[in-house]
A and B are shown apart, each in its own frame.
Chain A
Amino acid sequence: MSTPRPDQENPEIIGGQRVLGVVPGKPPGGDRKVLDEQEPVMVWPHLLVRHGVAALVVIGIVLVLAIFFDAPLREIANPTLTPNPEKAPWYFAALQELLSMFHPLVAGVLVPGAIILGLAALPYMDRSTRIEPRFRKVAVATFTIFMVVWIILTIIGFAFRGPNWGWVWPWQEWYGEL
């Protein structure tokens, strides 16, 4: 490609092809081009516009939360006053819940280790060249079960546990902390 002069217009790009010339008249295939399901699209605008919309939605949600719900700040840390229950941050609630149910070696080492190894090895365990979930039932089902269990444990540890890690109903007593 020769070096474009700065004043040269960018060639129009339609469907990834540069348009070299425009023939007047109607296209033989009809007026509208219907995109095939498998036909590639351009990053701009197809993906970037969606990114922009999603970005606005997400930042809007975070902004609304920040405006209407103050970030919590409790009393100053007191090493001599242990709260009951002691709760880890919410994204560790599932792990804390597991630790309350099983031997520490199982809940604290074997399960997290298996999760990390399992996720890292996913591309090597799910080896078919197919990407559709219906051809990868074992991988997708295993992952789904793991996610569902993990989310349930997170919710239990976050909202359903009270003093001495006993069961509480969150609508009666609330111990969840963000």
Chain B
Amino acid sequence: MIEKIDLWFEERMGWRPIWKALALRNIPKVTWAYTLGSATLLVMVNQILTGILLTIYYVPSPQDAYNSVSFITNEITAGWLIRGLHHWGASAMVILAGLHMIRVVVHGAYKFPREVTWFTGLGLLAVTMAFGFTGYLLPWDQKAYWATTVGTRMLEVVPVIGPWLLRFARGGEELSAVTLTRFYGMHIWVLPALLMLLIGIHMFLVVRIGISAPPKASETEEEGPELEVEA
């Protein structure tokens, strides 16, 4: 059955070379620590799916934001679950991205020729935190309002451009309807576009260059593996 489906698509799309390029290639023997990146990616997919569902009922205005979130949580079938998945997924994504970065540093995987993978990874970590920060405001409850007040106030300490940064983030001197629509626009349009771009480069490079070998444990080993580009 699976062969038939495979053949049907192969004759129409020629997808076997893609599978071969992605999955039927040699890599160094890996450990469980190498799954942290893909786990982050999976949580990202969870965030996209649940996030899209949340936008169906969410209304980004100070009058309606809180009520719409309350409606999602209390009235809509499984709304509480969708929102719960999005809420806990956000923290999981920050933690997993952080653990993934620790793995990469410990394994020295940022070294030549993987610098661009490393830079895009740092960008992805920053985008993840920006996602968390902008999403935090959207329920428009006390916690959201004041956490964003504190968070944006941190921008003010930057010399020279600090006050401007603060007004740029808030869309004024104080948090208002402008802040909410601004954060919403960032959260569902600007940041996802950035995320797609960075993750596209990041994952292309992971496949194109090949993953790095885990460091050897043995102390007696004289020669380490030379860094090399996998064709």
Q: Is A138 on the interface with B (CB-CB < 8 A)?
A: no
Determine the chain B residues whose CB is within 8 A of the CB of A79 once the complex forms.
145, 174-175
Residues in chain B within 8 A of chain A (CB atoms) = 7, 10-11, 16, 22-30, 32, 34-36, 38-39, 42-43, 46, 62, 66, 69-70, 73, 80-81, 83-89, 91-92, 94, 96, 102, 105-112, 114-115, 118-119, 122, 129, 132-133, 136, 139-147, 149-151, 154, 157-159, 174-175, 212-213, 215-216, 219, 224-227
CB-based contact B85/A95 at 8 Å? no
Told that A62-B92, A79-B175, A134-B219 touch, could you supply 14 new A-B pairs with CB distance under 8 A? A13-B24, A37-B216, A43-B24, A54-B35, A58-B39, A58-B43, A63-B85, A66-B85, A66-B87, A71-B86, A73-B69, A91-B94, A122-B105, A178-B91
Which of A6, A46, A143 is in CB contact (< 8 Å) with B27? A46
CB-based contact B146/A82 at 8 Å? yes
Q: What would be 30 A-B contacts, judged by CB atoms less than 8 Å apart?
A: A37-B29, A38-B28, A50-B32, A51-B39, A54-B39, A55-B39, A58-B39, A62-B92, A65-B84, A65-B88, A70-B80, A71-B84, A71-B88, A73-B73, A73-B139, A73-B141, A82-B146, A83-B142, A87-B147, A123-B112, A126-B110, A130-B108, A131-B108, A131-B212, A131-B225, A134-B219, A135-B224, A139-B108, A140-B105, A177-B143
Report the bound CA distance from A159 to B91 in whole Å. 16
Which 9 residue pairs spanning A and B have beta carbons closest together? Answer: A66-B84, A71-B87, A108-B157, A54-B35, A131-B108, A77-B145, A40-B26, A104-B157, A44-B23
Inter-chain residue pair count (beta carbon < 8 A) = 227
CB-based contact A133/B106 at 8 Å? yes
B140 to chain A, nearest CB (A): 5
Q: Is A2 on the interface with B (CB-CB < 8 A)?
A: no
CB-based contact B144/A77 at 8 Å? yes
CB-based contact A109/B175 at 8 Å? no
CB-based contact A74/B105 at 8 Å? no
Look across to chain B and name the residue whose beta carbon is closest to the beta carbon of A39: B29
Determine the chain B residues whose CB is within 8 A of the CB of A59 once the complex forms.
42-43, 46
Q: Is A152 on the interface with B (CB-CB < 8 A)?
A: no
Determine the chain B residues whose CB is within 8 A of the CB of A55 once the complex forms.
35, 38-39, 42
CB-based contact B118/A35 at 8 Å? no
A19 to chain B, nearest CB (A): 14
Determine the chain B residues whose CB is within 8 A of the CB of A108 once the complex forms.
154, 157-158
B18 to chain A, nearest CB (A): 13
CB-based contact B66/A123 at 8 Å? no
CB-based contact A132/B133 at 8 Å? no
Look across to chain B and name the residue whose beta carbon is closest to the beta carbon of A108: B157
Task: Tell which of A66, A133, A140, A177 has the most Cβ of chain B within 10 Å.
Answer: A66
Determine the chain A residues whose CB is within 8 A of the CB of B227 once the complex forms.
129, 131
CB-based contact B108/A136 at 8 Å? yes
Report the bound CA distance from A50 to B54 in whole Å. 31
Determine the chain A residues whose CB is within 8 A of the CB of B25 once the complex forms.
16, 42-43
Report the bound CA distance from A44 to B142 in whole Å. 49
Determine the chain B residues whose CB is within 8 A of the CB of A54 once the complex forms.
32, 35-36, 38-39
